[in-house]
Structure 1
Amino acid sequence: MAYQVLARKYRPQRFADVAGQDHVTVTLMNALTQGRIAHGYIFSGHRGIGKTTIARILAMALNCRTMIGSAERPTAEPCEVCESCVEIRAGNAVDVIEIDAATNRGIDEIRELRDAARYRPARDRYKIYILDEAHQITDAAFNALLKTLEEPPDHIVFMMATTQPEDIPQTVRSRCQHFSFHAVKLVDILAQIRGIAAQEGVDADEGALALLAEAGDGSMRDALSIMDQAIASAPVEDGRPRLDASQIRELMGTVANAVFERVLEGIHGNRSAEVMTIANDLLDAGNSPAQLARQFVRYLRNCVIAKIAGVEADGGSTELLQISADEQRRAGRSAALFTEEELTRFLQVMLRTFDELGYRQEQRFHFELGLLKLVHLQRLLPVEELLSRFPTTGGSGGAESPRPRASAPSTPVPRPAPAFASPSSPPPAPSKPAFSPFAADRNRKTFDEPTPIAPRTPAPAPPQASAPVVPQTPPVEREVMIQPELPPPPAPAVSILETDPVAEITAIEVAAEMLGAGSVPAAILEPETAPPAKTMAEPPAAGSRSAEDLQRLAIEALSAARSQGSAADALADAEWTVTGDEIRVQTELSKTMLPMVINADADRIVRTALRSSGAGQLKLVLLPGAANAAAAKKPRAAKTGSAQAKAMEHPVVQQAQRLFNAEIRNVIDLRDND
């Protein structure tokens, strides 16, 4: 008889012999006992875990000629001795048809199957179709089988085995009972191959058996295939094959995990030369960089799980690691050298390295680079540790610690205002004031849309005192440091919040009012060399500068800016008049175009030029050209006696024009219709 491989020789023939699928076997046996037989089953899961095997066992149980509950068959397990069980086990039963769906996947083959399903079984109770790799069937073929699955004959049972159940249409899955198989646990595979080794007369140590079970990766068939290959290559002692771990590693092209343990020890000690030496020895021995990276990834994963599960180096185990007890202790020793975050970063770097090795020309260089990255990761400081080195903000009375950088504010950063100090007094210390009289007032003041307020009478000051003129710019928050001439100890610096410039209240006056001085000496306001300037109490006369001079100064300032040519042209065409304390500029621009042509920069340039001319106390008012435009749109005078002329002469119309700046566009003459 020809040699039969271990995976076929020791294939389970009963539900109880199937390892690791108790949730499936128990359910099927109960269904057989209760007679609740479905017309369609889908068995899905990992490769080599018993899907087709359980389908054959279920076919034997359905067509077994021995009644359930008899002496020969006390349970729902097949008797294995009747003619039907023997033929099904041998694979030559007439009424059990096993089809390779990867080959017979077209609509023609499924139509033939559907036509043959109408006939009753030749001998047994059920005609059973086992479709292996059912996900290979095309959608058109599944649609052809759909009606048969929905209303099958009483003697038909379909069993579909697949590794990709998501590729089977939902309409088919909803008409079948779906059983999802689990990967076989390490202990179940280890127990199975230990029993097979005893029956085959093979001497194997526990390390070798554990390595075979780990190589199966949850697949019983893969583990038995590797075991069959290892027995064939094992040395024979006293007529019995001898399996050891080193021989199995050499057969599979892998290295011992002790090598990766040494690599992690070198990484922990920041010894790049040692890590590179180990990698050089492994690569010179003929190991593939991709295979080494794959093994190292698996070992790092085991270290991460050992760290999470708390596996100690001297003992302990967890079901999360499907490896032997010795390997769990090894992973625990490596995990104890690093934190969970470091092991996670190591695993991420090696996963990326493994992916890159698939399409890189020099795989050795990239593998060595991945190992060097692990060494370099040990030299990085965590962000938490870096932040913990900065002192935290102290409480009241303690020293103020450095503040963390805050996010950028939505408003522009205010420019620092010049500090006014007496020449004889020392400059103020560059520290933040301990108290600001406007601190409680900041919460209720907004600067989005400043509204002008009525000018207030400034505090009386000596004639020689000169107050700086507040520029008419958008309001900003400024801090003005004032060193008053008071007897020691000197008063603390006061933080002044400058309000709307339209109010024409200077920061010096506010500071004087807060300090209760009533006035500020000239020495504090200006140095002795500063030329005297007119105070706000004595504004310049409106007629000191003509409107034409002010217009010329503004146009020259805008022309010098080069980028404000449009604004200069607009102000050149405007009509300038000085009325009381206002400079009224009647432009020809519309209300929409006025802020676009004469923008904030142009407005600042004009106000600066006017302030330098001595007219800074006059309020600049820019008027849109709506009135002129409306006047320009007025129709020409109509002929005397016409309806339009009479309408224009009517007192009500004239009053409306004066009050509302009204415009007459259309006049309908109804006299011809009378």
Structure 2
Amino acid sequence: MAYQVLARKYRPQRFADVAGQDHVTVTLMNALTQQRIAHGYIFSGHRGIGKTTIARILACALNCRNPIGSEKRPTAEPCEVCESCLEIRAGNATDVIEIDAATNRGIDEIRELRDAARYRPSRDKYKIYILDEAHQITDAAFNALLKTLEEPPDHIVFMMATTQPEDIPQTVRSRCQHFNFHAVKLVDILGELRGIAQHEGVDADEAALNLLAEAGDGSMRDALSVMDQAIASAPVENGRARLDASQIRELMGTVANGTFERILIAINENRSAEVMTIANELMDAGNSPAQLARQAVRYLRSCVIAKITGLKADAEGEFIGSELLQISADEQRRAARTAALFSEEELTRFLQTMLRTFDELGYRQEQRFHFELGLLKLVHLRRLLPVEEVLSSLSGAAAPRSAAPAPQPRSAAPAPAAAPSKPAFSPFDQDKSRRYSGVEAGHNPAPVVSAPPVVSAPPVAAAAPVATPPPPPAPLVIPSLAAVATDPIPVPAPIPVPEPVPVTAPVAPIELAPAEPAPVEPPLVELAAEEPAPLAPVDPPQSPVILSEAEGPASLLPVPEPVAETPEPEAAATSPELAPLQAKAVDALAKASGQTSAADAIAESVWKVDAGTLTIQTQCSKTMLPMIVNPDAEKLVRAAVRDAGITKVVILPGVPNAAPKKPRAARAGSPEAKAKQHPMIQQAQRLFDAEIRNVIDLSEGN
């Protein structure tokens, strides 16, 4: 007999032999005992965990010729001795059809299956269809199978095995019982591998079996395939193959986790050179950067889980592993030792960085450089401080500065006032004090005229104190807004300004008292003072001034600079030769129904003829032109100019920044003429000097 691989040779033949799927096997055995058989099953889950195997065992149990509870079949398990069980195990049963749905996925194959399902089984109780990789079936083929799944004959049972149940339509899933298979645990895989090693006569230590179980990654078939390969490459001693961990690592092209432990120890001690040296040794040995990054990610994940679950690496005798870590006890201790060097946040950042590095290696040219850069990033991340630590240090350093200052003795001299951040003299402060002083006095303050000040006082600098400060300047009297409209504004007499004397106290704001109304004079503003004083130096005027000789003192008035007048561009007009044609077109549009706006637009346009082409430049925008001058209006214009020998008519929208159009006389009876005759429009023109730009006729028929 030809050699059978371990995955086929040790395929389970009973529900009890299936490892790690108790929730499925127990449910199916209870359904068989109670005769609660469904017409459709969906088995989904990871690869190599027993989906198709359980489907075959269920087919044997359904078609087994020995009834449940008999001497040959005391339980719901198949008897494995009857003709039906033997044929199904051999794969040549007539009534159990196993179909590779990845190949037979079209609607034609499913139609044939549906037609054959109408006939009763040839010998057994049920006709069973096992569809492997059922997610590969097309949607049209699933739709062809819907009616059969909803109302199948009593002799049909469908079993669909898939790794992607989400690709099966919901209408199909709702008609079947769905069993979700779990990944096989490491302990269950180890138990199976030990038993197979004994049956095969292979000497394997515990570390080698742990590596094989971890290589399976939850798949029993993957673990058995790697074990089959390892046995073939293992050295033979006394007629028995011997498996050890180093030989399996070399076969799989992996690195011992002790190497990654050394890398993380060097990262903890901030030794970048040692990290680069270890990475160089690994890649010089022929290891792929992508494979190394994958292993680093897996090891860091183990360290994170060990840190979260609180694994301790000290008491090895009482070590209790974690269900979250599907690795051997020795590897769990190693991960716990490494996790003790870092905090949970640091390990999380390490894992995130290596995951990003692993993703980038898939599309980078120089994979070695990017892997080395990822390791250096881990060293740099170790040098970072947590945000909480930085904030706590900053708050601790700021505490002495925020303490209350020591009390000063009362006899001590007061500290000098700090220099103000704004100038001591502010016109806004004066305005505020004037308004508020009037309110406090019990009368309404006079309105303030916003005019530029004539005299500006120089800023006062702080200096040494003096014995007698100068008297405050006299208040300025500003008339009310009503007086300003009618009263003159005489120029004040010169006010003597004393020499600035430095003072320590801030300058008191100038009080502004309300002024009495002055006699009616020409419109001038008068600023009165109690005592004459010389004028302060004023900046020279920016423009020439003249003296206006009105009643009262002369006042300075600025002379406006002459402005060059820009001649207005003349509006373009239609040539006299084309004016009759334009008038004819306007008249035709005015007589047509609903073309009043088009007639106005054509009347305001400019007509030009060049080589038999008439160009009509309108004042309408590009958006409004198609709405005002519609195709019917264009036909009327072309008909009006057809006798003039014009072969082509082009109507253009208005040009931006065009010259203003000249006013034109409104036609008698037009909406524009009616608008100009309306009393309300005429009154608006008189009051606001308005003009009519556009008239839209909203009456019926327009």
Question: TM-score normalized by structure 1?
Answer: 0.64
Residue in 2 aligned with 1:562? none
Superposed counterparts of 1:159-558, under 5 Å: 159-314=159-314, 315-391=319-395, 398-399=403-404, 427-429=416-418, 455-457=435-437, 535-537=511-513, 542-544=525-527
Indicate if the aligned counterparts of 1:212 and 1:223 stay in contact, CA closer than 8 A.
Answer: yes
Per-residue CA deviation, residues 564-600 of structure 1 (Å, 9 max, x unaligned), is: xxxxxxxxxxxxxxxxxxxxxxxxxxxxxxxxxxxxx
Displacement, 1:542? 3.1
Displacement, 1:537? 3.8
Indicate if the aligned counterparts of 1:64 and 1:84 stay in contact, CA closer than 8 A.
Answer: yes
Q: Residues 455 and 251 from structure 1, CA distance in 2 versus in 1: closer, same or farther, beyond 3 angstroms?
A: same
Displacement, 1:71? 1.4
Displacement, 1:399? 3.5
Distance in 1 (alpha carbons) for counterparts of 2:556 and 2:302: 84
Residue in 2 aligned with 1:635? none
Secondary structure at the counterpart of residue 363 of structure 2:
coil
Indicate if the aligned counterparts of 1:107 and 1:141 stay in contact, CA closer than 8 A.
Answer: yes
Residue in 1 aligned with 2:55? 55
Distance in 1 (alpha carbons) for counterparts of 2:177 and 2:260: 46
Distance in 1 (alpha carbons) for counterparts of 2:269 and 2:228: 42
Distance in 1 (alpha carbons) for counterparts of 2:365 and 2:557: 76
Indicate if the aligned counterparts of 2:29 and 2:77 stay in contact, CA closer than 8 A.
Answer: yes
Q: Residues 483 and 93 from structure 1, CA distance in 2 versus in 1: closer, same or farther, beyond 3 angstroms?
A: farther
Q: Residues 534 and 47 from structure 1, CA distance in 2 versus in 1: closer, same or farther, beyond 3 angstroms?
A: closer
Indicate if the aligned counterparts of 1:39 and 1:176 stay in contact, CA closer than 8 A.
Answer: yes
Q: Residues 542 and 272 from structure 1, CA distance in 2 versus in 1: closer, same or farther, beyond 3 angstroms?
A: same
Per-residue CA deviation, residues 126-157 of structure 1 (Å, 9 max, x unaligned), is: 00000000000001111111111111001000
Distance in 2 (alpha carbons) for counterparts of 1:430 and 1:38: 93
Distance in 1 (alpha carbons) for counterparts of 2:399 and 2:513: 47
Amino acid at match of 2:282: L
Displacement, 1:327? 0.1
Secondary structure at the counterpart of residue 394 of structure 2:
coil
Amino acid at match of 2:272: S
Residue in 2 aligned with 1:445? none
Displacement, 1:395? 11
Displacement, 1:205? 0.5
Amino acid at match of 2:147: K
Residue in 2 aligned with 1:594? none
Distance in 2 (alpha carbons) for counterparts of 1:389 and 1:486: 50
Displacement, 1:453? 11
Distance in 2 (alpha carbons) for counterparts of 1:86 and 1:350: 52
Report percent identity of matched pairs. 75
Amino acid at match of 1:222: D
Indicate if the aligned counterparts of 2:434 and 2:513 stay in contact, CA closer than 8 A.
Answer: no
Per-residue CA deviation, residues 266-317 of structure 1 (Å, 9 max, x unaligned), is: 0000000000000000000000000000000000000000000001122331
Bigger Rg, structure 1 or 2: 2
Q: Residues 549 and 95 from structure 1, CA distance in 2 versus in 1: closer, same or farther, beyond 3 angstroms?
A: farther
Amino acid at match of 2:137: I
Amino acid at match of 1:457: S
Per-residue CA deviation, residues 412-437 of structure 1 (Å, 9 max, x unaligned), is: xxxxxxxxxxxxx98524799xxxxx
Secondary structure at the counterpart of residue 92 of structure 1:
coil
Distance in 2 (alpha carbons) for counterparts of 1:142 and 1:75: 36
Residue in 1 aligned with 2:645? none
Distance in 2 (alpha carbons) for counterparts of 1:68 and 1:483: 116
Amino acid at match of 2:526: G
Q: Residues 77 and 470 from structure 1, CA distance in 2 versus in 1: closer, same or farther, beyond 3 angstroms?
A: farther
Indicate if the aligned counterparts of 2:131 and 2:160 stay in contact, CA closer than 8 A.
Answer: yes
Secondary structure at the counterpart of residue 131 of structure 2:
strand
Displacement, 1:524? 8.1
Indicate if the aligned counterparts of 1:458 and 1:536 stay in contact, CA closer than 8 A.
Answer: no
Distance in 1 (alpha carbons) for counterparts of 2:462 and 2:64: 107
Distance in 1 (alpha carbons) for counterparts of 2:450 and 2:313: 76
Amino acid at match of 1:428: A
Displacement, 1:552? 5.1
Secondary structure at the counterpart of residue 111 of structure 1:
helix
Secondary structure at the counterpart of residue 334 of structure 2:
helix
Q: Residues 486 and 292 from structure 1, CA distance in 2 versus in 1: closer, same or farther, beyond 3 angstroms?
A: farther
Q: Residues 551 and 229 from structure 1, CA distance in 2 versus in 1: closer, same or farther, beyond 3 angstroms?
A: farther
Q: Residues 97 and 134 from structure 1, CA distance in 2 versus in 1: closer, same or farther, beyond 3 angstroms?
A: same
Question: TM-score normalized by structure 2?
Answer: 0.62
Distance in 2 (alpha carbons) for counterparts of 1:337 and 1:471: 76
Per-residue CA deviation, residues 499-556 of structure 1 (Å, 9 max, x unaligned), is: xxx9xxxxxxxxxxxxxxxxxxx9787899x9x9975248799334999989959x99
Amino acid at match of 1:267: I
Residue in 1 aligned with 2:130? 130
Residue in 1 aligned with 2:75? 75
Q: Residues 523 and 486 from structure 1, CA distance in 2 versus in 1: closer, same or farther, beyond 3 angstroms?
A: closer
Q: Residues 125 and 389 from structure 1, CA distance in 2 versus in 1: closer, same or farther, beyond 3 angstroms?
A: same
Secondary structure at the counterpart of residue 362 of structure 2:
coil
Distance in 2 (alpha carbons) for counterparts of 1:120 and 1:217: 43
Residue in 2 aligned with 1:672? none
- Count residues in correspondence: 482
Secondary structure at the counterpart of residue 378 of structure 2:
helix
Q: Residues 459 and 55 from structure 1, CA distance in 2 versus in 1: closer, same or farther, beyond 3 angstroms?
A: closer
Displacement, 1:452? 9.6
Amino acid at match of 2:252: M
Distance in 1 (alpha carbons) for counterparts of 2:302 and 2:514: 87
Displacement, 1:484? 13
